[in-house]
Amino acid sequence: MISANKFVIVFVVLVIGGGIAALFVILPRFNATNKTPEQVISSYLEAIQAKDYQGVLGLIAPNHNAIASINEKMDSYGGVKLENTRLEYKPTESPYSLRVFLYANIIDRDGKEQPISDVLYLDRQGQSWFLILGTTNEMPTRP
């Protein structure tokens, strides 16, 4: 039989170990930097112009499968310098979401300036904002 002291020690070790394990599972879902919408969009624009897939992927909301959507964005205007960029941040029906209208010019292969536009969606989870691209099977949780 286990003595009471040994039982308490084993119980405490299991609780602490379980807590640490839970942190390793939960923390990757949340962006520790608590980025604002402006910071997310700025990071997105830097990453898309550099054709940095991992940079864009790091801005995506947890539990979103965004590979196809990122590829679509990269094919559309990735790897080129965006000029005369204008952003319009528009609220949605939810205080946890924003719509961002992106207007810019790119220089095409023929050296001609071409206008582009895109609509980006942001979602607040906890204290941080994330880019919404792709699909999810999970409804976002709200604070």
| Tally of domains within the chain | 2
DSSP 135: B
Residue 110: inside a domain: yes
pLDDT tens, position by position, 85-128: 999 999 999 999 999 999 999 987 788 899 999 999 999 998 89
Give the mean pLDDT of the chain: 81
Give the confidence band of 23 by pLDDT, cuts at 50, 70, 90. Answer: very low
The reply to whether 83 and 112 lie within a common domain is: yes
Whether 142 maps to a domain, the answer reads no
Helix (H, G, I), strand (E, B) or coil at 97: strand
pLDDT of residue 18 exceeding 80 = no
Are the C-beta atoms of residues 59 and 131 closer than 8 Å to each other? yes
Domain that holds residue 118: 33-132
pLDDT of residue 109: 76
Check whether 7 has a pLDDT greater than 80: no
Residue 72 lies in a domain: yes
Query: Any idea which residue has 């700025």 for tokens?
Result: 42
Q: Is residue 24 part of a domain?
A: yes
More confident residue, 35 or 20: 35
139 within domain boundaries: no
Tokens found for residue 10: 């084993």
Q: Provide the percentage of residues in the chain whose pLDDT is more than 70.
A: 71
Q: Tell whether 90 and 124 lie within a shared domain.
A: yes
| Same-domain check for residues 44 and 113 | yes
Percent of the chain with pLDDT over 90: 53
**DSSP letters of 39-93?**
HHHHHHHHHHHTT-HHHHHTTBPTT-B-HHHHHHHHHHHTTS--EEEEEEEEE-S
